[in-house]
Amino acid sequence: MTPDEFRQAGHALVDWIANYRERLAAGDYPVQARVSPGEILAQVPAAAPEHGEPFANVLRDIDELLMPGITHWQHPRFFGFFPSGGSLSSVLADMLSTGLGVIGLNWQASPALTELEQGMTDWLRDLLGLPSTFSGVLQDTASAATFVALVCARERATDYGAARAGLQDRACPPLVVYTSAQAHSSVEKAALLAGFGREFVRAIAIDEDFCLVPEALEAAVRKDRAAGLRPCAIVATSGTTATTAFDPIAPIARIAQEERLWLHVDGAMGGSAMILPEYRHHWEGIEAADSIVVNPHKWLTTAFDCSLYLVRDPEHLVRVMSTNPSYLQTAVDAKVRNYRDWGIPLGRRFRALKIWFALRADGAEALRRRVRADIDSAKWLAAEVGRTARWRCVAPVTLQTVCVCHEPPGLSGSELDDHTRRWTAAINDSGRAYLTPAVVAGRWMTRVSIGSEHVSRESVEELWRIMRETASAAATAR
Amino acid sequence: MTPDEFRQAGHALVDWIANYRERLAAGDYPVQARVSPGEILAQVPAAAPEHGEPFANVLRDIDELLMPGITHWQHPRFFGFFPSGGSLSSVLADMLSTGLGVIGLNWQASPALTELEQGMTDWLRDLLGLPSTFSGVLQDTASAATFVALVCARERATDYGAARAGLQDRACPPLVVYTSAQAHSSVEKAALLAGFGREFVRAIAIDEDFCLVPEALEAAVRKDRAAGLRPCAIVATSGTTATTAFDPIAPIARIAQEERLWLHVDGAMGGSAMILPEYRHHWEGIEAADSIVVNPHKWLTTAFDCSLYLVRDPEHLVRVMSTNPSYLQTAVDAKVRNYRDWGIPLGRRFRALKIWFALRADGAEALRRRVRADIDSAKWLAAEVGRTARWRCVAPVTLQTVCVCHEPPGLSGSELDDHTRRWTAAINDSGRAYLTPAVVAGRWMTRVSIGSEHVSRESVEELWRIMRETASAAATAR
């Protein structure tokens, strides 16, 4: 494709995206894709074309082949999972990143990529109210960041054992990782990837609000130590996936310091709320964390992938993650950050542009306004649920997620679970809204997660009408 | 940013990128950025703006603030590292990916994302001449893919030890990983991240062409087994970073099968050449590999990040990598691929669009033409080097990388090293071209890596003039 062809095709695609977003904002699409497994793949030719074709054909197939298979995360009635940032400013930023086509494998390979990343991670850190003792890097996901944290924990606990026998040092007592049963699935995955083994990952008890109980952590650590094991890391969550519960950081940090545990805080979702000073009490004690991850690509509008990983001791991170082959060395290495040593991949996109564009185009105040509006909508919905017969919030509404259960008379246990999943699936299948069911305290409930790009109070009100209507119909139809 | 503002800003940015590429193709920019450490960061305001500003300001700052700090990877005289794909079709694809703003955390979350990825990884597998026994997934980088491979190897060797004590099972003999000293730095990094420990990573001897010696591998495996260790994985390289050497797959695969080692083939760079049937002898025996990684984002024009990871047994991969919390379960899980279980991150971009756009806009034949042209240019340069006094190729030219040394009379050892690094740095600092120096066989040499988006025979000829001129001047100035 020549620059001239790109000019023409690019203008057409920009218009396509603008039109798509306008139609989305108007609620024009069914939220959930309406295709069966294999339906899209069956339309993809078996072999790659030998010769190019006009871009108009591709544009046509976006509409005809792809769009039926898209579940619209930026739809005003998408309330599934957690929101995924979709600001149009960051769409432009990603286009520039790819258009420049530079790779940040060391500072010299594009100083602007590295230094804007330093600047933008500082901006975000400060917006979140964190002290300047933290240094930041952008990674792809919280899954990767949490893995990096656990590897750093492992290495600190073994005095850099990776340089010797790694986790295969038979003289070293087994290391143990602690988290709560409400932690994201990526925490256990990260621990297993790092070699700890499931037997050495402890799910610490939670209280009735789904927050980790510090006393239970303390007891577990002592028990393990008494058994000859070596407690290594605690992963606390700020905004759990099921209910956005906040584990209490201050008492956990105190235990971490006393017991020499690495404290990693998974604030992938809830960390974003810390741009609001009135929510920072949830982070009391955070300055003692060894590492923190917050995903601007969730609630702070920057497009996926853009995960902020903050550490108190970058020297330790670099020592654990670094490689230094001859072909990557430059004369200025001692004076610069080489972000390849701050994560897993060597190659790195120019991700900082997404934060730069989003904050310059829209401003920090717009982010705070958006986060506040989503929280207000969640509170409104929770109040409606609370004053409606047969409906119940099954968890405290801390942020923008409302966990609800509709309880028709006479239903309990697995029958109630079936009902919950049935009405939720009925809404999703209708295309009118999209919700994620999940299990807490052993029972299915339905999460309403507010925060997609085009969400508004009106779309939440519309959802609530749909929920009541659909759940009642499902109860009657039984 | 509203859709209307996006329309206007997007058109301006499309034009900016088209103009940038035209100026690049004309060789208008100094290749290497000309800023000092800290110079860009000093111009970034200390705090994020509270309020938005016109996009024209951002466009202006791209030129004024960022561009001086860009090293132009798509420049016709960029010969550093390995090329990074920069086709304009894949710029459009990335824009669409971000514009849609969907996340592939399970099939239902956007069936088109998953199924186009199945289709496109099949297209690539077939273009590379691999049998349909391989199944593919797109990951961010070969670093991540190689890590995943080593974790799969670890789990196969321990009968899924992660579900028990992981690498901390004191009853299990230590596992050993084998590779060559010419392997990419990401291989050792992956092994250390996975917990093996440096004492259990063996650098197998290479021959005079920098290829792993199978007999040395066999001897190392037997020695370790005799010492009570458990040989676990061999990482062979197809196209090493320093010289694009190919480890001999067939004899290595035979040893791997006999010794029950996981065979991972790092074809990040060299694998791309397999789109040319006349190069497939380098891959003889490849069908026995357990896993292969090839980076279309290097030489096959798709923009970073787009790394193809192929496995023979996806069931094993999924069992090792999967998580299944309630909030990710859907009714169709048994019938579909959930690619989150094929790698580290849960969230996934719509990367397959890059391959789809690139192949439809340009066609497979254009890729082959491009790869052949780069190899021809490399052969031309090697011939020039070979017939020029004081110049020498220090490694066989297998693909598109030419490793050269300029040897003025009377210089050897560290003085010759200094000379090599001096003239290479002089070229880089001049902005006329960009090259990467590296060490092979204990001595510095200079890599000429051909394959950037706008490279041509003319730019290689121009480079050769610059090299002779600069190296001679450096020799004289001593």
Taking only the tens place, the pLDDT of each residue in A147-184 is: 999 999 999 999 999 999 999 999 999 999 999 999 99
Nearest to A165 among B25, B165, B174 (CB): B174
User: Contact B3/A19, CB-based, under 8 Å?
Assistant: yes
Do B195 and A195 form a contact (C-beta atoms < 8 A)? Answer: yes
Q: Give the model's confidence band at B246: pLDDT under 50 very low, under 70 low, under 90 confident, else very high.
A: very high
CA-CA-CA-CA torsion for A179, A180, A185, A186, nearest 10 degrees?
-20
pLDDT(A478) > 90: no
pLDDT for res B123: 98
Burial B221-230, CB ≥16 within 10 A → b, else e: beebeeeebb
pLDDT for res B331: 87
User: Contact B241/A327, CB-based, under 8 Å?
Assistant: yes
Instruction: Residue B53: list chain A partners with CB under 8 A.
Output: 360-361, 363
Do A375 and A141 form a contact (C-beta atoms < 8 A)? Answer: no
Interface of B with A in 114-153 (CB under 8 A): 115-116, 118-120, 122-124, 126-127, 140-141, 143-144, 147, 151
pLDDT for res A137: 98
B156-161: long-range contacts, CB 8 A cutoff, minimum separation 24: B156/B262, B156/B316, B157/B230, B157/B232, B157/B233, B157/B260, B157/B262, B160/B319, B160/B320, B161/A197
Rounded mean pLDDT of A185-211?
97
pLDDT(B326) > 80: yes
pLDDT for res A477: 82
Q: Give the model's confidence band at A400: pLDDT under 50 very low, under 70 low, under 90 confident, else very high.
A: very high
Q: Which stretch of A328-337, B204-213, B244-253, B452-461 has the lowest confidence by average pLDDT?
A: A328-337
CB-based contact, A39 to chain B, within 8 Å: yes
In angstroms, what separates the C-alpha of A466 from chain B's closest C-alpha? 21
CB-based contact, A87 to chain B, within 8 Å: yes
Taking only the tens place, the pLDDT of each residue in B155-213 is: 999 999 999 999 999 999 999 999 999 999 999 999 999 999 999 999 999 999 999 99
A470 Ramachandran zone, left/alpha/beta (phi>0; psi -120 to 50): alpha
For residue A229, the chain B residue with the least C-alpha distance is B168
Taking only the tens place, the pLDDT of each residue in A212-271 is: 999 999 999 999 999 999 999 999 999 999 999 999 999 999 999 999 999 999 999 999
pLDDT for res A402: 98
pLDDT for res A165: 96
| Residue of B139, B133, B114, B101 lying closest to B338 (CA atoms) | B114
3-state SS string for A63-116: HHHHHHHCCCCCCCCEECCCCCCCCHHHHHHHHHHHHHCCCCCCHHHCHHHHHH
Taking only the tens place, the pLDDT of each residue in A450-467 is: 999 999 999 999 999 999
Question: What percent of chain B shows pLDDT beyond 70?
Answer: 100
For residue A115, the chain B residue with the least C-alpha distance is B41
pLDDT(A338) > 90: yes
User: Contact A165/B199, CB-based, under 8 Å?
Assistant: yes
- Partners of B136 in beta bridges: B310
| Main-chain dihedrals φ then ψ at residue B225, nearest 5 degrees | -60, -40
CB pairs below 8 Å between A and B: how many?
523
Instruction: Residue A434: list chain B partners with CB under 8 A.
Output: none
Q: 3-state DSSP call for residue B439?
A: strand
State chain A's maximal CA–CA distance in angstroms: 74
Burial B266-298, CB ≥16 within 10 A → b, else e: bbbbbbbbbbbeebeebbebbeebbbbbbbbbb
pLDDT for res A393: 98
Measured CA to CA, the distance from residue B339 to residue B346 in angstroms comes to 8
pLDDT(B327) > 90: no
| Residue of B62, B28, B13, B59 lying closest to A7 (CA atoms) | B13
For residue B48, give every residue at least 6 positions away whose Cβ sits within 8 Å of its Cβ, in sequence order, or none: A123, A124, A126, A127, A359, A363, A364
pLDDT for res A71: 98
Establish how many alpha carbons lie within 13 A of residue A20's alpha carbon, considering only the half-sphere containing its beta carbon.
24
User: Contact A163/B39, CB-based, under 8 Å?
Assistant: no
pLDDT for res A325: 83
Measured CA to CA, the distance from residue B102 to residue B348 in angstroms comes to 9
For residue A74, give every residue at least 6 positions away whose Cβ sits within 8 Å of its Cβ, in sequence order, or none: A21, A24, A84, A86, A452, A453, A454, B100, B101
CB-based contact, B333 to chain A, within 8 Å: no
Taking only the tens place, the pLDDT of each residue in B52-87 is: 999 999 999 999 999 999 999 999 999 999 999 999
Instruction: Residue A52: list chain B partners with CB under 8 A.
Output: 360-363, 366
Q: Which of B102, B143, B266, B362 to mutate to test the interface with A (most CBs of A within 10 A)?
A: B102
In angstroms, what separates the C-alpha of A224 from chain B's closest C-alpha? 14
- Amino acid identity of residue B140, one-letter, is D
Question: What percent of chain A shows pLDDT beyond 70?
Answer: 100
Q: Nearest 5°: CA angle at B266, between B263 and B272?
A: 130
Q: Give the model's confidence band at B19: pLDDT under 50 very low, under 70 low, under 90 confident, else very high.
A: very high
CB-based contact, B95 to chain A, within 8 Å: yes
Question: What percent of chain B shows pLDDT beyond 90?
Answer: 96
Distances (CA, A) of B26 to A385, B74, B337: 64, 11, 45
